[in-house]
Amino acid sequence: MVAQYAVLRVAKLKTMGEIGALGQHNERTRDTPNADAERLGENVRLVGSGDWCADAQARLDAAPRIRSNAVLAIEHVMTGGDNDSCILGPFGLRPGAASRELCVDNSCAIM
């Protein structure tokens, strides 16, 4: 029997530099040694243009007021084992399942 696992990571992004660096990492436009380059084509963008800073700025521009020390974005990573029976989150998402219902209205980018 193969062990199943799930990973949930949440991190605050307080600067546009952090948002830009995360976007470059996820879009693989910067050196990302922990990523398998041969699997890049498996990435799917559900929301966003690929320009993470512009997408985040557009969301911030729609806000009535932003504090000078505000958290600008929150990174959520949900992932699990290679087993198809691995369930992620309360919506019963399986790896590879595209769900536009998950946080789409409040997200700048979902990959």
- Encode pLDDT of 37-84 as tens digits: 888 887 777 788 889 999 999 989 988 898 989 999 988 887 766 554
C-alpha 71: how far from its chain's center? 16
Tokens of 95: 């790896």
Torsion on CA atoms 46, 51, 52, 57, rounded to nearest 10 = -110
Alpha helices in the chain (DSSP H): 16-27, 52-61
Of the CA atoms within 13 Å of residue 4, those in its CB half-sphere come to 8
Tokens of 10: 């949440």
Span 80-105, pLDDT tens digits: 665 544 444 444 444 444 444 445 55
C-alpha to C-alpha distance for 36 and 110, rounded to whole angstroms: 19
pLDDT class of 3 with cuts at 50, 70, 90: low
- Indicate left, alpha or beta for 56 from its phi (over 0: left) and psi (-120 to 50: alpha): alpha
At 37 the three-state DSSP class reads helix
pTM of the model: 0.70
Interval 9-37 mean pLDDT: 89
Tokens of 21: 């660096």
pLDDT of amino acid 1: 60
